[in-house]
A and B are shown apart, each in its own frame.
Chain A
Amino acid sequence: MADRLQVFPSRLEGMDRSAPVWVMAALALALLILLPLGWLAYVSVSSEGSLTLAHYRKVFMDPRLQKALWNTVILAFWVGLASLAIGVPMAWLSARTNLPGKRLIRGLMMASFVTPPFLGAFAWVMLAGPNAGFLNKLYRNLTGAEEPLVNIFSMSGLIFVVAIYTFPYVFIMIANTLDLIASDLEEAASILGAGRLQVALTITIPMVAPAILSGFILAVLQALALFGSPAILALPAGFHTITTQIWALFHYPPKTEMAAAFSIPLLLATALLLLLQKKLLGRRGYASVGGKGGQRREIPLGFWRYPALLGCLAVMACSIFLPYGILAKAALSRAWAQPMTWENFTLANFWFTFFEYSSTRLAIVNTLELGIMTACVGAGLVALLAYITNRKIIPGHQILGFLALAPVVIPGVVLAVGLFIAYTRPPLLLYGTLGILFVAYLTKEMPVGYSQSDATFRGIHPELEEAGRILGAGRLRVLREITAPLALSGIIATWCFIFIGVIRELSASIILFTPNTKVMSVVIFDLKEEGQFGAIAVLGLFMLAVTFAIVVLMQSLLGRDFLGAKE
């Protein structure tokens, strides 16, 4: 059959092939995005069958909700700035200078990138709780001070914790851009007598300005959508953000219409920000960013080599060493706040978590099942989409690409509210099954997976396929024997990306789970609400172990790390 396909298909055949793709795409789109968001919008303006703006009025007149809105703005803005403040210098150091230990820094950056933010927030409760926190105790012992060094239960504490897990987004963006820019302009400036810092500030930074702005927006978006960290750090301090407020509106008796009305502004904000980012990146006013070519010379840091490394390590200590250390300590001790003595040592937390607490096994099975299912379906789907858009197989393929990227504007909580409304009623009663979580995860992971896959197929030049076709192989045979083997490692990487994204997901799961469809993140959150620190630490470490196993698998398959650096 395949042999008989023509090299240049007639228009009719092209149409034939695209029809089923379009039907499938439309269906998927309807189920994943339009139905939930449609219901969300409808519920937000309807009251017993008639249309009304009453819910919006109520949302925006309620001083408590106003405050949550304002808190979110503050949080997102400062997280954006803080992420730049950490991410830009580190990216510059690791892309442009002779900083020692670059591979180590990249490796740690990846670790911080895959650490679930809510685990980080939980660890920081134990590190910097104003009275019992490890660092504050240390500080008091050293200085004899009364006041704590840091109070993590505050807006600034929240900004700090969110920022140390968000800045890798900025880092990746800037480092990858810097990798593309030739250093001849910088060299010219040096020759003309500019100092290293002056070159960085007047040449390098302006050249990557669009990337910086767009990194800022990316960080802001992350901060806007986050649920776990504010729930763990803001609620004890007595304030809400939009996401925790939406979650609270779901408590009994549920005010679904208010939650919907509160979700729409968040959705609009994220959509606007992304539009802005696209404008910034699309403008390409800075001609230097364009493909490879040109020389990249390392800037010698001289005396500053080791202080710079120390600075980078200090940042990574905040996001990796200290949190992981305190998690391990909590997992192994009877009382997390007491010193690690022999009397305080115990394995009981492990025993309790894995053998007594019955939710653990259920949650692990559900999480892995969902992770594997979503990763397989997702990786397959985005590979197909990326192939179609890259090889322009059907007319209107650009639209498919756009649709695959569209869910990036939907924060997890908002998506969950929409899915909850859409799938707790006939004809599709998905609520209560793993199906609804699957749909949520697939939608949420689609943009990341698609970008990954797109890059993979962009890297495979069509000339290899064309050669195959010229030698007489049909499209399917070429796909099977040439394209698929070339794309395989990239597709596996996408699989891993999606899998890691799924097992750490909390913001949508927390609204969509039912007792039988608990996942690990939800169980950890449940335990947090009851203050079972030992069990949370054990489950958290388990989650990290699974994540890192996948990361290692992926690196060995790809021969490069997550962030694009060659081994």
Chain B
Amino acid sequence: MRRWWLLTITLAFSGPVAFAGLSFGQDIRLEAAKKEGKVVWYSSLAVPSTEKIAKMFEAAYPGIKVEAHRTGSQRVLQRVMQELQANIKNADIVHTSDAGHFVLLKEKNLLMKYTPAGVEKFPSGFKDKDGYYYGLRASLSAIAFNPKVISPTEAPKTWKDLLDPKWRGKLVTAHPGYSGFITTHILALVNQYGWDYFKQLAQNKLMLVQSANDPAQVVASGERPIAVNGAEYFFYQTQKKGNPIQIVYPKEGVPLVVSPTAITSFAPHPNAAKLFTDFTFTREVQQVLADSEGLYTGHPEVRYPEDKPKLGDLKLLQVDPEELEKRNQEIKDRFVEFFGA
């Protein structure tokens, strides 16, 4: 009787731990993670979403701080590599939207082999065959326009529509030198239409911004009424806040960007990193990503908002991480060649 009572109390106080599973091994890890006290997360997820997940984790595991550092995918990689060059071992978890980064990091033995709990049910596109990195979230790279400026009937419907000279001076693009999202987007479209497409697109004098999240703000403000790419989840969030923005999912295919996460081989807080990684792959957190952030995930039980298109209804364009890694420099160089900076 007394023991049941004790168990109830324990459960009440460690409620969040419950969904991570109450096995003995988990307890040891939790203790070790608490001793480490924090986890350092280099993330390319939009600032508000990154901070939200960090706060959720801190609420679930009091005593373990999340030190979140958000910047663009390519900057995340630059940070990690620059720090290693100076022998600084800071990052526990690396999360970017450029799957090629993980091929590179794995090759350089900078990743820890770790399979987060529950990912076995995820589709294969979310899993590294060697077990080093897993897709934490996915989103589409879509077209978006401002319906106050461009009427929906007139708005571009396909990628090729964007080449029409009538859009000269009206388009905005994000930058592959900053955003892994855009690196992926460009490779997907190059595989479809070749570099000629981007060469022609550049004739329309695009405004260049850095992050794949920035076009949403540019379109909503009306500075440029059409975004030729950008993170669909951020377009969606911007729309939900009441801004004038409509998303177009071209029928010829929409690039699907799966953003992997991995623990580094040099992680200074390995236990906290594992705990955090497991936490982010739980159904609860993945559901939050879908609900309030407008993301897609690999979790089979996650339900999506009614106003989001079903991935099964779209033609998805996917790229091979190996190819992305191999052609990374080419993508950045050609972009600068065509667009100027």
Contact = CB atoms under 8 A, between A and B. Distances in A.
B86 interface: yes
B74 interface: yes
B241 A337 contact: no
A532 B237 CA distance: 13
A129 interface: yes
B51 A132 contact: no
B207 A236 contact: yes
B155 interface: no
B88 interface: yes
A234 B339 CA distance: 12
Nearest to A64: B336
A252 B241 contact: no
A535 B215 CA distance: 17
A288 interface: no
Given A238-B341, A514-B88, A515-B42, A358 B51 contact: yes
Interface string A339-360: 0000000000000100011110
A355 to B, nearest CB: 10
Contacts of B191: none
Contact of A531 (B55, B216, B241): B216
A175 B225 CA distance: 47
Nearest to B219: A132
Nearest to B85: A424
Nearest to B220: A335
Contact of A132 (B70, B211, B223, B339): B223
A246 to B, nearest CB: 13
Contacts of B223: 129-133, 337
Interface in A351-400: 352, 356-359
Contact of B55 (A235, A254, A356, A424): A356
Interface stretch (B3-11, B27-35, B76-84, B123-131): B76-84
A515 B78 CA distance: 12
A3 interface: no
B221 interface: yes
A515 B69 contact: yes
A129 B172 CA distance: 13
Interface in A123-149: 129-133
Nearest to A516: B90
A529 interface: yes
A238 B339 contact: yes
Interface string B184-204: 000000000000000000000
Interface in A201-252: 234-240, 244, 248, 250-252
B48 A356 contact: yes
Contact of B90 (A237, A425, A515): A515
Contacts of B83: 432, 514
A475 interface: no
Contacts of A535: 47
B214 A252 contact: no
Contacts of A250: 78
A153 interface: yes
B214 A529 contact: yes
Contacts of A244: 341
Contacts of A359: 69-70
B51 A357 contact: yes
B72 interface: yes
B71 A529 contact: yes
Contacts of B78: 250-252, 254
A429 B54 CA distance: 31
A118 interface: no
Contacts of B48: 352, 356
A530 B214 contact: yes
Contacts of B90: 432, 514-516
A254 B79 contact: no
A530 B213 contact: yes
A469 interface: no
Contacts of B211: 529-531
Nearest to B243: A335
A191 B71 CA distance: 67
Contacts of B243: 335
Contact of B208 (A132, A238, A352, A357): A238
B21 to A, nearest CB: 28
Number of chain B interface residues as a range: 35 or more
A429 B83 CA distance: 11
B214 A531 contact: yes
Nearest to A423: B86
Contacts of B40: 515
Contacts of B224: 131
A526 interface: yes
Give the interface centre of B51, B86, B211 by most chain A CB atoms within 10 Å.
B86
B263 to A, nearest CB: 17
A457 interface: no
B82 A358 contact: no
Contacts of A20: none
A334 interface: yes
A506 to B, nearest CB: 15
Give the interface centre of B72, B209, B241 by most chain A CB atoms within 10 Å.
B209
B220 A251 contact: no
A43 to B, nearest CB: 13
A182 interface: no
B46 interface: yes
Contacts of A425: 86
A17 B323 CA distance: 67
Given A236-B207, A248-B177, A530 B340 contact: no
Interface string B44-77: 0011100100110000000000111111101101
A250 B206 CA distance: 24
B321 interface: no
A171 interface: no
Nearest to B44: A530
A527 interface: yes
A252 B217 contact: no
B178 A337 contact: no
A335 B217 CA distance: 9
A358 B40 CA distance: 12
A337 B42 CA distance: 31
Contacts of A516: 90
B340 A238 contact: yes
Give the interface centre of B54, B214, B223, B224 by most chain A CB atoms within 10 Å.
B223
Nearest to B51: A356
Given A529-B71, A531-B216, A514 B79 contact: yes
B182 interface: no
Contacts of B23: none
Contacts of B66: 358
25 contacts: A129-B221, A132-B218, A234-B341, A238-B206, A238-B339, A239-B341, A244-B341, A250-B78, A251-B75, A251-B177, A253-B81, A334-B241, A334-B242, A335-B220, A357-B51, A424-B85, A432-B86, A514-B79, A515-B42, A529-B71, A529-B178, A529-B210, A530-B211, A530-B214, A531-B216
Given A237-B341, A431-B86, 10 more contacts: A131-B223, A131-B224, A251-B74, A252-B74, A254-B81, A358-B68, A529-B72, A529-B209, A529-B210, A530-B214
Interface of B: 40, 42, 46-48, 51, 54-55, 66-72, 74-75, 77-79, 81-83, 85-88, 90, 177-178, 206-211, 213-218, 220-225, 241-243, 329, 336-337, 339-341
Q: Which 4 A-B pairs have the closest CB atoms?
A: A238-B340, A531-B214, A337-B221, A132-B223
